Amino acid sequence: MTPPLIRSATKRQFLLQLDLDPGDDRTSQMYWLLKDEAIRAYEAQLQGRRDLLRPEYASQDPPYAAAHFTAAAFSSVVRSIYSMASPLTRPYYNKGVNSQGDNWVISWMLYHVCRYRDGRNIRARSREFHADDDLDESSCGSSKTTDAHDDEQRNHN
């Protein structure tokens, strides 16, 4: 297993942790394959599902942040993504499995898919919705899409 990253780690950190070259076109293709699997699972299993929310968020209107879902619901979707992984994405997911059955690679990607939709992401409210999907270093390392808690976590690591 590759050592895990916190969910708020940058895209660049994520790619490097998976031994992917941020400047390589094949990396961009692989990233989009991983992201597409997470998007499809999010849309099929989490999107608009109040019954999967933690009690304190049950009355909130969508879109929901990853943290709004119960740990069991989020973990179930992570396991679902892993079980339905394509032969191309499976090797990268295998790098994220730990002895408890958690998968930091899928969790990171699913967290970021939720983040695009939860209303906190400034870029998601602008025309630059997927701007951080560019492999340009300046956008990959940007902290504009992180909240104060994520910044605090990063400073402690």
Tens digits of per-residue pLDDT, 15-66?
Answer: 999 999 999 999 999 999 999 999 999 999 999 899 999 999 999 888 889 9
pLDDT digits (tens, 9 = 90+) for 67-125: 999 999 999 999 999 999 999 999 999 999 988 878 999 999 999 999 877 555 544 44
Question: Is the separation of the CB atoms in 64 and 29 below 8 Å?
Answer: no
Label residue 132 by pLDDT band (50, 70, 90).
Answer: low
Q: Is the pLDDT of residue 134 over 50?
A: no
SS3 66: helix
Is the pLDDT at 140 greater than 80? The verdict is: no
The pTM of this model reads 0.76
What are phi and psi for residue 60, nearest 5 degrees? Answer: -75, 145
CB atoms within 10 A of CB 142: 16
What share of residues in the chain are helix, strand, coil (percent, to 5)?
55, 5, 40
Q: How far is CA 109 from CA 37, 56, 59, 85, in A?
A: 9, 24, 26, 13
